[in-house]
Amino acid sequence: TVEGVLLVGVPAPRQFTADELRLLEALAEMAGATIHRLRLHAETLRRVQQLEALQTIDRAITASLDLRVSLAILLEQTTIQLGVDAAGVLLYNPHLNTLDYAAGHGLRSPLYRHTRVRLGEGLTGLAALEHRLVVVPDLSQADPPWGRETLREAEGFVTYAVAPLVAKGQLQGVLEIFHRSPLRPDEDWLTFFQALAQQASIAVDNARLFDRLQRSHMELVMAYDATIEGWARALDLRDRETEDHTRRVTEMTLALARAMGMPEAELVHVRRGALLHDIGKMAIPDTVLLKPGPLTEEEWAIMRRHPEYALDLLSPILYLRPALDIPYCHHERWDGRGYPRGLKGEEIPLAARLFAVADVFDALTSDRPYRPAWSRQEALDYIRHQAGRQFDPKVVAVFLEMMEKGEIG
Ligand code: C2E
Ligand code: SIN
Ligand code: SIN
Ligand code: FE
Ligand code: FE
């Protein structure tokens, strides 16, 4: 293939000798080979750079769940690899049937941020509607007209190209590039532009999927927690005199858990468990639950089943299983004489050991159908006396210290 021509001139009347011509031929061949090698080298280098750019974008899309971050990297790579002045992404808004600004790179005026193009209108809108890649070497000659003259004048754009972003057959938006001087893209350029558009559509699709998942997950969590709080209030209402007991012991237990360094991720389960600690009492008849005096042996046998009722009620709910420690174990005792299983010491889950102290303190300082409230001092003395008997002594120490400092209670 011809790479170029080597021109050599000599003043007349001098003629080239046969030897000189052979030498020139050899030189031209060497020059041709060198140019060819250099071109190949440049092309290889360009392809390697393009691959690296695609990988960079790929990593950004995978690592970031934030679409703005992915698109910023994609647009930066787009301008570098395609050698253009600016690039942007417009996202399709199906409610308004418009393409709206999402990200831009290399733009001088703030106009671009307000871009809203109606689908099917102007060159951009048509390309998107028809899922077509369009290149316009000279915007002033565009047919149909570009339709974004204010932007063109403000930025001085000459060349424009737009590629639709399509995922699973659905229009997501467009990737567009701008250049302030004429540009004649070759086939290689177009292929790479298409590859970039494909990655942009993957980024947009991922982000939308993640948004939907996250939103439905959040809605579910909120619905669950609202349900739990509703149950807790219903339980407090049932033993009328324990009003606000659940809220207070939940707050106190969380404060103790934080002070004992329980991991943040576990606190959500501690909170739910504390709110639901006596849910098993739903199965206890009013005659027992609201009895004004001491319980008979049979009544006591019924009452002591409330932690097991809680286990039965909550364990089918997968979401609440990690919250079961408190409802199931809050009447275990450090010395092993508690119920329902007679667990001892650290066999008792930490959340339940913390909760037991908060629950008994709050129960003692409240009126109950079976006795009037104790004073704060009487309750504190009782807790201190039960360290190592009913309660974990370490928990009692933290509890008393926090009480003294006014951090709880
Ligand atoms: P509750 O009233 O919420 O009390 C929770 C825990 O606080 C009790 O667990 C106990 O450890 C402690 N506590 C409450 N009041 C007193 C008290 O006057 N003295 C002492 N030393 N500790 C107290 P416990 O004992 O396993 O009781 C579980 C539930 O059984 C109580 O929950 C309450 O609903 C019921 N209950 C317990 N004793 C009686 C009673 O004499 N009469 C009636 N009607 N119900 C009782
Ligand atoms: C835009 O801001 O990109 C569209 C409006 C215009 O330039 O005329
Ligand atoms: C509550 O929500 O009832 C209080 C517990 C908390 O601190 O979240
Ligand atoms: Fe209980
Ligand atoms: Fe309680």
DSSP-assigned letters across all residues of 215-230 = HHHHHHHHHHHHHHHH
Residue 38, pLDDT above cutoff 60: yes
Q: What is the average pLDDT value for the chain, to the nearest integer?
A: 90
pLDDT on residue 382: 98
Nearest Cα to Cα of residue 90 among 167, 163, 18: 163
Each residue of 345-371: pLDDT tens digit?
999 999 999 999 999 999 999 988 889
Each residue of 185-219: pLDDT tens digit?
888 899 999 999 998 998 888 888 777 777 777 77
What is the distance between the alpha carbons of residues 6 and 28, in angstroms, rounded to a whole number?
A: 6
Nearest Cα to Cα of residue 174 among 198, 153, 192: 198
pLDDT on residue 64: 66
Most confident of the following: 34-38, 45-49, 67-71, 390-394? 390-394
Cα 296 to middle of ligand 1, angstroms: 13
What is the distance between the alpha carbons of residues 393 and 383, in angstroms, rounded to a whole number?
A: 10
pLDDT on residue 346: 98
Using most ligand atoms within 8 A of CB, pick from 100, 108, 111 the residue to mutate for ligand 2: 111
Each residue of 73-120: pLDDT tens digit?
999 999 999 999 999 999 999 999 999 999 999 999 999 999 999 999
Binding pocket residue ranges, ligand 1, CB within 6 Å? 291, 294-295, 303, 331, 359-360, 363-364, 368-371
What is the distance between the alpha carbons of residues 89 and 163, in angstroms, rounded to a whole number?
A: 10
pLDDT on residue 243: 64
Binding pocket residue ranges, ligand 3, CB within 6 Å? 247, 250-251, 254, 271
133 in Cβ contact with 168 (< 8 Å): no
Task: Give percent above pLDDT 90 in the chain.
Answer: 59
- Residue 314, by phi and psi: left (phi above 0), alpha (psi -120 to 50) or beta? alpha
pTM of full prediction above 0.85: no
Each residue of 242-283: pLDDT tens digit?
668 899 999 999 999 999 999 999 999 999 999 999 999 988
pLDDT on residue 34: 81
